[in-house]
Amino acid sequence: MRPGEGLDALMAPRSIAIIGASQDATKIGGRPVDLLRRYGYAGKIYPVNPKAAMVQGLQAYASVGALPEAPDLAVIAVDAERAPEAIEQCADRGVRSVVVFSSGFAELGEEGRAMQDRLRTAARRTGMRLLGPNCLGAVSIPEKAIATFSIVLEHSMPAAGSLGIVSQSGNLGSYTMRMASDRGAGISRFMTTGNECDIDIADGIAWLARDPATKVILCCFEACRDAGRLIAALTEARDAGKPVIALKVGTSEAGQAAAASHTGAMAGSDAVFDALLARYGAVRVRSIEELIDLGHSASILLPDRLPKGRRLAVVTASGGFGVLLADAAQAVGLSLPELSQATQRAILDLVPFASARNPVDATAQMSSRPDMLQKILSAVVADDRTDAIVLPLPFSLHMPRLRSVYMETLRAIRAQYPNRPVILCVEGPPDALAELHALGYPTVASFDGCCAIVAALARLQALATAPRAGSQPAVAKAAPLAADAFRHELGAKRALAEAGIPVLAEQLVSDAEAAARAARKIGFPVVLKIVSPDLPHKTEVGGVVVGLRSEEEVRQAHARMLARVAEKAPRAVIDGTIVAPMAHGLSELILGSRIDPVFGPVVMVGLGGIFAEIVQDTAVQMAPVSETQAMAMLRSLKAFAVLDGARGRRRTDLETAAQTIAALSRFAVVHADTVSEIDINPLLLKADGEGAVALDALLIPHAGKATQHH
């Protein structure tokens, strides 16, 4: 079933049955009945309780079979042992969707998992959609359709609006709904997926993407269980012009603990999740506050007032506030360009002692005279050197005189410049904030938060207008790898060379004399490297010697290296020694791939050499990637400016680097059944146009898929 299908009965039900309905409005089975009645749900409510004729003033029914019709939605509020039978009765009766509150299923182990499988089987038999188990249910604000027992609806229902919320965690989701509502944001729908026995977070995103009442989708993730479904849902939301804003809690250690390569440690599932979100147009945030502020701000500015770039103007009555905002802006990658000469003249004509460059410090004069404030703000808003304007108004809305001054000005500015994004850094009385929101002004309480939201809004706009992630590059099937590809470095590099990854002309030798002959043939200077399936990190045991300039040096170095390795790793199996030409370049990268348990093959690039894991400057993507996507990975590195020839350095051959990343990603996909991890460290980058070369490589098989002496 494609994501989001069959959820209409859950999210817009015309009738709701509560199985396990209680007379007591404080109990889990009593709360939905109470909330539906209290907030005025217009559809039919059917309490099901074999021991009561009436529940909370409504006629009760002994069983689902006794109901006068098959309801669109049934809420299961009985304990885990009785839930499977209740689900089966709902399926037999023709109920179209069910919400299962009960816990005690897969989260408790094998016995619970078997019971959960029973729920899924019963639902799949008839195509009935099932939310949960172990969830806080769903709420549709416009229909007042309440299938939750959450305490956040205790005192009031959120106002109807355009924020849709889907969360794997019940409490995180309901807290987000309440907080967003308290901050003045209107809610369209709320759904929590719990154990995701049937309906998952991708279903929620996809259904909200089709929902006319929803403009922005807020997601709270704990884990992704199915990358393909999530990609399909994110693509649908993006195509519908509905931003997805994601808060992901917990970073997965899956596949990292026993990683034998650098890649395993550096390409964690959390980094892949980040890459997937960005690739399919979603923005990730790091806190509930940012989730709500960004979602609410986006809903106010959509469809055509998001900042078109990262250039910010700040207008303030205080030099100190201006400096604070400038610092906060720089920290999140926003720039504060100098305003045009015409704008600066207009400001100085009004307030000769103002600071007019940006931030604009118009001094306290601007809040004493509404006409002056309007003229200054108008001049700055009109300046096309910036993409967004931030106006801090600390405490102003709490003072009736200042409130009226600012409201009058902001009404005029909105009429004059309907499409320019102006974000207010302010907190104040709820009615004042509501008035500003209605005028089209997002409000954020803190200086740092305000700048973070402007940066995130610019990212939303950039993602919305970015070229779509095309179909994955095609990869052809390849012959199985030779056994020595997993055994040692030379075999690994031979296999990678066949896939288009540049390597040096090297030779495997068995003794010092053969090493000297090979060195003469290759040409001095040369490098010697120990070859052993037991020593993936050769430098740690003294197994690499560089810069050898004669046959005699090679013979002596060979003997000393074997002695060192024998001392440090006496039990290591030695296959011989590699003799390689000494290569020189400008920079080193680390390239790698691994199989992520959820996302499949992923490819990684970072700053290479001995500091790779210390510096942690990496970019990760799901494989395969095109050369264009590989170049985008390189550009995202903090060290990119160094690779690109900053400060008079020579530019490295980034095009060859991108081709190599793309080739590695295709290799990883083609051999995903046998290769668990790939490590190329370093990839030596030469000057622009001169190529690159993989100096060391390691292929790690899946457990049991190839013989390896570790």
pLDDT digits (tens, 9 = 90+) for 211-254: 999 999 999 998 888 999 999 999 999 999 999 999 988 754 54
pLDDT of residue 266: 53
Parallel, antiparallel, or unpaired for β 138-140 and 187-192? antiparallel
SS3 581: strand
Q: What residues contact 467, with CB distance under 8 A and at least 6 apart?
A: none
Nearest to 527 by CA among 501, 496, 505: 505
Residue range 562-602, pLDDT digits in tens: 999 999 999 999 999 999 999 999 999 999 999 988 889 99
Q: For residue 224, what pLDDT is reported?
A: 86
Q: Of 683, 682, 704, 706, nearest to 537 (Cα)?
A: 682
Confidence at residue 223, expressed as pLDDT on a 0 to 100 scale = 83
Average of pLDDT values for 249-264?
A: 49
pTM: 0.90
Beta strand ranges found along 375-522 (DSSP E): 388-392, 422-425, 443-444, 507-509
Helix (H) or strand (E) segment spanning residue 580: strand 576-581
What are the residues facing 389 on neighbouring strands? 313, 422
What is the CATH code of the structural domain delimited by 301-465?
3.40.50.261
Both tokens assigned to 484: 């020595």
Per cent of the chain over pLDDT 90 is 81
Q: Are 278 and 271 in contact (CB under 8 A)?
A: no
Strand ranges (E), 226-379 = 244-248, 283-285, 312-316, 360-361
How many Å separate Cα 453 from the centre of its chain? 16
Q: What tokens appear for 332 in the block?
A: 């999140």
Res 259: pLDDT: 37
Q: Which fold has domain 587-701?
A: D-amino Acid Aminotransferase; Chain A, domain 1 (3.30.470)
Please say if the pLDDT value at position 256 is more than 60: no
List the structure tokens of 253: 């250690």
Residue pointed to by tokens 């709820």:
430
375 and 346 Cβ atoms separated by less than 8 Å: yes
- Nearest Cα to Cα of residue 205 among 194, 193, 195: 193
Q: Are 18 and 32 in contact (CB under 8 A)?
A: yes
What CATH number matches the domain at 505-581, 3.30.1490.20, 3.90.1150.10, 3.40.50.1360, 3.40.50.800? 3.30.1490.20
| Lowest mean pLDDT, pick from 29-43, 110-124, 294-308, 475-489 | 475-489
Of 5-14, 44-53, 616-625, 697-706, the range with the lowest mean pLDDT is 697-706
Query: Beta partners for 527?
Result: 580
Calculate the dihedral angle through the C-alpha atoms of 460, 464, 467, 473, rounding to the nearest 10 degrees: 80
Model confidence at 132: pLDDT above 70: yes
- Asked if the domains 8-250 and 587-701 are classified in one and the same CATH topology, the answer is no
CA distances to 135, 409, 509 from 402, in Å: 47, 11, 84
Inform me whether the pLDDT recorded for 257 exceeds 60.
no
State which H helix or E strand residue 174 sits in. Answer: helix 170-182
Backbone φ and ψ of 565, nearest 5°: -65, -40
- Candidate CATH numbers 3.40.630.10, 3.40.50.720, 1.10.730.10, 3.30.70.1730; the one for domain 8-250: 3.40.50.720
| CA–CA–CA angle 414, 415, 421 (5° rounding) | 30
CB-based contact 447:425 (threshold 8 Å):
yes
**pLDDT tens, position by position, 447-489:** 999 999 999 999 999 998 887 766 566 777 788 999 899 998 9
- Compute the CA torsion angle 172, 173, 179, 180 (nearest 10 deg): 150
Nearest of 289, 249, 290, 257 to residue 273 by alpha carbon: 249
Instruction: Assign 255 a pLDDT band (cuts: 50, 70, 90).
Output: very low
* Helix, strand, coil % in the chain, rounded to nearest 5: 40, 20, 40
Domain ranges of the chain: 8-250, 301-465, 505-581, 587-701
Lowest average pLDDT, out of 1-15, 169-183, 394-408, goes to 394-408
Residue pair 188/161 in contact (Cβ under 8 Å)? The answer is yes
505, pLDDT greater than 80:
yes
Q: Which two tokens stand for residue 355?
A: 């600071």
pLDDT for position 704: 64
Rg, Å, the chain Cα set: 31
**Greatest Cα-to-Cα distance within the chain, rounded to the nearest angstrom:** 101
CB 6 within 8 A of CB 96: yes
Tokens of 554: 């090679």
